[in-house]
Amino acid sequence: MSRGTFALVMIAIAALVLLAMWLGWRGRARRHTEFAEHGDALVGMVLATFPRVSYVSTTRVGAPLDRLSIPGLQFKGFADLTLRADGATIAVTGEPEVHLPVERLIGSGVASRRVGKAVERDGLSLLQWRAADGTEIESSFRFSQAAEQLRFADTVAQIIPAGTALPTSGPQTHSTSHTTQEDA
């Protein structure tokens, strides 16, 4: 086989692999459209804002390595996170804003690993919420300062309705500890 033929075969194989990956991602996005939460913009009093926080991924509670491809939360990147008296808004750069009304929020937590990121103990903050179909979901964020991570958890605790907090669901997700990156 000549070099030219070999190069064409390798390019064709790479193109097929990329096409399969693209089709798989589109299929995943289509399956997860029921989780889309692009509701009306929230207008309640702003309790806390976190500009340019690192958004990691969104997963089902208890499945930290199974990324959900929810429109607005599909890709890793920087996000502006706003916590209001009537809910939370997540605006990932380049994606449509996601508005989560307060009745969908169920708590916050911390984790060490999520699909796309592994950090020190309790280095990721989780915003836990319910989709329209009742599925419990976690969106994970990486704060640059431990004080911001603690402020995030405290603000979420202020706005969630009483009695809706998510119980502890395993070693990677817990809502009761306020261990920060400096304590790890």
What is residue 66's predicted lDDT score, i.e. its pLDDT?
Answer: 85
- Domain range for 118 is 46-159
Q: What is the pTM of this model?
A: 0.72
Question: CA–CA distance from 13 to each of 16, 22, 104 (Å)?
Answer: 5, 14, 45
Q: Where would I find the beta strands (DSSP E) of 85-183?
A: 87-92, 98-101, 105-111, 113-114, 117-118, 124-130, 136-142
pLDDT in tens, 125-159: 999 998 888 889 999 999 999 899 999 999 999 99
For residue 21, is it within any domain? yes
For residue 103, is it within any domain? yes
For residue 113, is it within any domain? yes
Residue that wins the pLDDT comparison between 34 and 45? 45
As for how many domains the chain has, the answer is 2
pLDDT bracket for residue 21 (50, 70, 90): confident
Q: What are φ and ψ of residue 9, in 5° steps?
A: -65, -45
Token pair recorded at residue 168:
């502890």
